[in-house]
Structure 1
Amino acid sequence: NKTKQNKTKIMKLERTPSVVANAMSERPEIPEPSGDITADIKTILTSLQQISVAISDIKLCNKDTLDRLTSMETHLTESDERLSAAEACIVMLTSTVADLRDKIDDQENRAHRNNIRILGFPEGVEQGNPSKFLEEALPALLKLPAGTDISTERAHRSLAPRPGPGQRPRPFIIKLLRFPVKELLLRSARDLGTLEWEGHKILLFPDLSRALQDRRRQFLSVKRILRDKMIKYGLFYPATLRVTYKGMTSSFATAEEAEK
């Protein structure tokens, strides 16, 4: 409704110059003196009255124009205020959504705190019992001390469709009962380097959310440079690169900071 009112006011404002022009065009022509002073004075007075009326009309038109301009300025000011308020609200909501997304991602990763993702085991080797298979295979694979308890809460293949012949097997996702055991398995895998099981290369990773994996993946090029230069580093949860060089340790939250 306000938009229609503004359009109507603009149309009226556009017609105002024509009203003024009409008033100006209606001004009387002052005749030449007739020689009769009395008649000439009457003619002049009549013309002055007509001019006065025309001037009054112009003043009314000007007042109407000023009123409409003032009204339009008021509406524009109100529109600017509403737009500014909407922009501020959008900024606030964007920040809130980002905070909530970070919290959800953090909750997801905390729920996976005891999880390990294991790649490389062929399809079907678990024979329908992944927990039993991994509890038997991992201690030997990682050369753990005899009697090490790696009890699992559950284990399963990832939920992707079963691959066909020649395709990459689905990873195992294993949830351990105790967090220290998870750390032991990952540390043993790092210490041993390359892991092989019956000719298959096996890899162990923390089970992280995709968003956190993407954040950690940004450090790949930096880690490669550090390895080439034999500089000690570590990537800590959630995505902090810690570098030790000449006895000094520095932490970096982004790859850009580390590259500097």
Structure 2
Amino acid sequence: EPSRDITADIKTILTSLQQTSVAISDIKLCNKDILGRLTSMETHLTESDERLSAAEARIMMLTSTVADLRDKIDDQENRARRNIIRILGFPEGVEQEALPMLLKLPTGMDLSLERAHRSLAPRPGQRLRPFIIKLLRFPVKELLLRSARDLGTLEWEGHKILLFLDLSRALQNRRQQFLSVKRILRDKMIKYGLFYLATLWVTYKGTTSSFATAEEAEKFVKTL
């Protein structure tokens, strides 16, 4: 009968609505759980970002501190070496007697040596061990180096003699970065000098400029 069919349909609809309502409630609960998890994840991510930022700041601070300490140690090392000269080319046993004559120093001049000795072993490719002298007075060291520069090529009994500052490895590397710039300046016959610690002075058309890094010097040279 029609009335029974309508009643059955209504019951079916009500049952479906109840089931839908239950499903919606389940979805709401599920969404609430998901939202809670997302909120928790966002909180954890925020905390992680904060910890990461703090760690990065700490690393930057420690990196800066290590760099400062390295610079101070390097500075102390070079200060300890400031009166030392390394000499290459002298045959064994004639160094101290030959040096004043080689550099044409005044007769009887007191070099005020604190100590003089050979290095333990020659570097690869060197036949003679470097001769190392430490002077008591800085002006005497400057005089020896200046005399060597003024005389140009130095030779003793057929041996080419070279005088070098005794520098830390880090400072040597800094000074070596100027090699390409110095080569260009020599080719252009422009007066220059690499001064302690590692500063390049260039004199061009009566004006002298100084450069603390090779990059600055290269930019300047390109404008000449």
TM-score range normalised by the length of the shorter chain: 0.7 to 0.9
Deviations 1:217-240 (A, max 9, x none): 122222233233332221111100
In the aligned structure 1, how far is the partner of 2:185 from the partner of 2:2?
106
Question: Structure 1 regions of 5+ residues with no counterpart?
Answer: 1-31, 128-135
- 1:115 CA drift (Å): 0.5
Quick check: 2:200–2:212 contact (8 Å CA) kept in 1? yes
Deviations 1:8-57 (A, max 9, x none): xxxxxxxxxxxxxxxxxxxxxxxx98726556555544443333222222
- 1:105 CA drift (Å): 0.8
- 1:96 CA drift (Å): 1.8
Quick check: 2:154–2:162 contact (8 Å CA) kept in 1? yes
Deviations 1:189-219 (A, max 9, x none): 0111111112111111111111111111122
Aligned pair in 2 of structure 1 residues 126, 142: CA closer, same or farther (>3 Å)?
closer
Aligned pair in 2 of structure 1 residues 69, 148: CA closer, same or farther (>3 Å)?
same
Q: Secondary structure at the match of 1:190?
A: helix
Deviations 1:56-101 (A, max 9, x none): 2221111111111111111122222222222222222222222211
Q: TM-score, normalised by structure 1?
A: 0.75
In the aligned structure 2, how far is the partner of 1:39 from the partner of 1:229?
107
In the aligned structure 2, how far is the partner of 1:101 from the partner of 1:46?
80
Matched, 1:160 2:121: yes
In the aligned structure 2, how far is the partner of 1:117 from the partner of 1:85?
48
Quick check: 2:122–2:128 contact (8 Å CA) kept in 1? no
Aligned pair in 2 of structure 1 residues 161, 138: CA closer, same or farther (>3 Å)?
closer
Moved more, 92-101 or 206-215: 92-101
Alignment length, in residue pairs?
218
Aligned pair in 2 of structure 1 residues 126, 118: CA closer, same or farther (>3 Å)?
closer
In the aligned structure 2, how far is the partner of 1:36 from the partner of 1:233?
110
Deviations 1:142-201 (A, max 9, x none): 100122110211112123369xx9952110111001000000000000111111112111
Moved more, 64-73 or 152-161: 152-161
Matched-pair identity in %: 91
> Which of 130, 146, 160 matches 2:107?
146
Q: Which protein shows a greater Rg?
A: 1
In the aligned structure 2, how far is the partner of 1:157 from the partner of 1:33?
122
In the aligned structure 1, how far is the partner of 2:39 from the partner of 2:2?
46
Moved more, 179-188 or 247-256: 247-256
Q: Secondary structure at the match of 1:68?
A: helix
In the aligned structure 1, how far is the partner of 2:60 from the partner of 2:102?
52
In the aligned structure 2, how far is the partner of 1:238 from the partner of 1:215?
9
Structure 1's consecutive aligned runs of 4 or more residues displaced over 6 angstroms after TM superposition are: none
In the aligned structure 2, how far is the partner of 1:258 from the partner of 1:166?
32
Aligned pair in 2 of structure 1 residues 56, 175: CA closer, same or farther (>3 Å)?
same
Matched, 1:123 2:92: yes
Aligned pair in 2 of structure 1 residues 188, 51: CA closer, same or farther (>3 Å)?
same
RMSD of aligned residue pairs (Cα, Å) = 2.6
Q: TM-score, normalised by structure 2?
A: 0.86
Quick check: 2:95–2:131 contact (8 Å CA) kept in 1? no
Aligned pair in 2 of structure 1 residues 33, 252: CA closer, same or farther (>3 Å)?
farther
- 1:126 CA drift (Å): 6.1
